[in-house]
Amino acid sequence: MGNNNNIIKQIRRTVLIVEDEWINTEILSEILSDSYEILTAENGVEALRVIRESITPISLVLLDINMPVMGGFEFLSIIKADEAYKRLPIIVLTSEKAHELRALELGASDFITKPYDMPEVIQARVRRSIELSEDRMIIQAAERDELTDTYTPHIFVEYAAKIDRYHPDDATDLVVVNIDKFHLFNELYGYDAGAYAMRSFAEILKDVVRKNSGIVGRLQTDYFVLYLNRIENYGSLMQEIGGKLNRSYGISNLRFHLGVYRTENKQEDFEKRLDRAKQACDAVNASNKEHFLIYDDEAQRNTLFRERLVQDVRRAIEERQFEVYYQPKVNVRGDQYILSSVEALARWNHPELGFISPGVFIPLFEEDGVIRLVDRYIWREAARQIRSWKEKYGVSIPVSVNISRIDMFDKNLVSTIRQIVDEEGISVDDMYLEITESAYNNEVEQAIATIEAFKREGFTIEIDDFGSGYSSLNTIAVMPLDVLKLDMKFVREMFKNDKTLKIIGIVADIAKNLKVHLVAEGVETEEQLSALKHMGFHIIQGYYFSKPVPARELEKYVETNHLIQTGVTLPC
Ligand code: C2E
Ligand code: CA
Ligand code: CA
């Protein structure tokens, strides 16, 4: 802090004199111009303009009261209501005692009485006011998080300790709040929007703690922390915050989750309590079903498990613990079923934790970003498999690989996949790309650009989980797609209500209009198969044919069922 002070003291400050009588302006300028840069204005309106337009920040305003157009009092009340300038110190220039109280009430810092016959006194008051306000700014900057105006972690812990000390008998909770996938929000909407969202969210939290006699701090990027009086029902707190979010401009799509550590023993180390609240918060994130969690032993185990998985990724890749399973997509158009392609699905054989399904580790890896490493590995493995089947069967069995929405942000995505294809000696016709619909819910333009780049290279693009996201028909229409893959939930519910059947019919129509192929996945029964076939779905994937299986088993399956017609290229 000392250093900051020194730096600040070396800069030449700017003082704005607001005074309609030029002779007074002259005198004050004369007194102050040795030490300060001087700006002038003849009334309140002009002063506001100067303050807002000035490139160098103004350190102090000397303000006359009686001026034409806008007088000193009106100026004061406007400036003190302005978030950006309310801390600007203002010294009122007056000859009337009666003005002093009013000016004080409106937030003036000091007075200088006319006439200006004591230059040293004026210099001293100006200097003192500037110093005071800058000291306060330094203190506030250290106490408050600049972006969100909540407490910095250090000060938060200190104030929480104070609460414990003075209210030893009040039951309290420590709550860590995290915004869901905030890094994505930033990547999608840009950092300015991210900062805005963060500030608005902080305001909502402040509002909430005010009612529960608590305090708010920010731990790191998108983690907030609250210390407040015991809340019995976190469900309704979640609703309250959610409601406020919904009503807030520009952030109504923000989601959040929180972890609670109930303080039973105020002597317990605060850092440890904080750790546990954060663990609970992170554990919610993994399960994704409930959006809050109160810390207990299970929460602890869950966090450890998640951390372990992310920690183990690099090693797992090195030691080839990931295995690619393949699930057939079967062309059912004609009388004879033929293999159309297969989908590559990742599996993890963890040496200590056993078999882990992608439903568990993919969301975790997406959150952390390590999905990029895993996907690269899977793509390469798939490419090798394609090559080996080509050699074995004399035809290509195309493999669809999954591309995560996180991969879509990678500038080198297209060249990476192209390189894998080239290095493994296969062709772009052999590797289909499944891009989930949610990958372009928000950042449509970038997604289109990426997909177009893939198309230019000659790849086949399948839109996965179609119907689960919110892509508009316009988007779909301008995207150069090859395949729409109906989201599995429609198949699961197709006979439960008419609406689902109708939606499936609409998807089929869309595909027909766009002249793209249709795939239905998650097909488990004969009944589903024939209904889908009837509606124009000619490529079917699902347990009805086979679960995802290791490469060797897939070979056995297609051989015994005569699904490969050697010598001809498989239809899409
Ligand atoms: P997805 O891409 O939608 O894959 C289809 C999922 O449905 C697979 O789950 C598959 O095993 C399952 N499935 C297939 N047929 C049926 C059926 O008839 N009934 C039922 N109930 N399920 C069926 P899986 O293998 O557990 O993968 C889950 C998700 O994890 C995938 O959903 C995909 O989003 C993701 N994933 C898997 N492997 C990878 C990968 O290598 N990279 C990326 N980025 N994501 C992957
Ligand atoms: Ca898929
Ligand atoms: Ca899917």
- The span from the CA of 222 to the CA of 547, in Å, is 40
The ligand minimizing its distance to the Cα of 348 is: 1
State the pLDDT at residue 6.
37
State the pLDDT at residue 1.
35
Task: Give yes or no for a contact between 240 and 226, defined as CB atoms under 8 angstroms apart.
Answer: no
Q: Is 362's C-beta closer than 6 angstroms to any atom of ligand 1?
A: yes
Instruction: Kindly report the CATH class assigned to 153-295.
Output: alpha beta
Q: Is 359's C-beta closer than 6 angstroms to any atom of ligand 1?
A: yes
The domain 2-142 is classified under which CATH number: 3.20.20.140, 3.40.1670.10, 3.40.50.2300, 3.10.450.40?
3.40.50.2300
Q: The tokens of 537 are what?
A: 């779905």
State the pLDDT at residue 105.
83
β-strand 354-356 against 215-220: which pairing, if any?
Answer: unpaired
Tell me which DSSP letter residue 319 carries: T
Best probe residue, ligand 1, of 322, 357, 362 (max atoms within 8 Å of C-beta): 362
Q: Residue 209: phi, psi to the nearest 5?
A: -70, -30
**Structural domain boundaries of the chain?**
2-142, 153-295, 334-560
Query: 204-222, pLDDT tens digit by residue?
Result: 999 988 888 889 999 888 8
Best probe residue, ligand 1, of 317, 327, 345 (max atoms within 8 Å of C-beta): 345
Task: Give yes or no for a contact between 58 and 130, defined as CB atoms under 8 angstroms apart.
Answer: no
CA 312 to chain centre: 25
- The span from the CA of 66 to the CA of 74, in Å, is 10
Q: Residue 224: phi, psi to the nearest 5?
A: -105, 160
What spatial distance separates the first Cα and last Cα of the chain, rounded to whole Å? 67
Task: Give yes or no for a contact between 386 and 396, defined as CB atoms under 8 angstroms apart.
Answer: yes
Q: Is 524's C-beta closer than 6 angstroms to any atom of ligand 1?
A: yes
Q: What is the pTM of this model?
A: 0.60
Query: Looking at ligand 1, which atom is closest to the CA of residue 371?
Result: 44
Instruction: Kindly report the CATH class assigned to 334-560.
Output: alpha beta
Task: Give yes or no for a contact between 186 and 113, defined as CB atoms under 8 angstroms apart.
Answer: no
Which residue minimizes the CA distance to atom 27 of ligand 1? 358
State the pLDDT at residue 129.
87
Q: Is 378's C-beta closer than 6 angstroms to any atom of ligand 1?
A: yes
Which residue minimizes the CA distance to atom 24 of ligand 1? 358
Which residue minimizes the CA distance to atom 13 of ligand 1? 522
Q: Residue 305: phi, psi to the nearest 5?
A: -60, -50
Q: Which residue has 């440890």 as its token pair?
A: 272
Q: Which residue has 């934790």 as its token pair?
A: 353
- Which residues of the chain, if any, have pLDDT below 70? 1-11, 55-56, 138-141, 285-289, 299, 440-442, 469-472, 566-572
Task: Give yes or no for a contact between 322 and 377, defined as CB atoms under 8 angstroms apart.
Answer: yes
State the pLDDT at residue 134.
78
Which residue minimizes the CA distance to atom 30 of ligand 1? 358
Q: How far is the CA of 79 from the centre of ligand 2 (A)?
A: 57
Specify whether the backbone of 78 is left (phi greater than 0), alpha (psi in -120 to 50) or beta: alpha
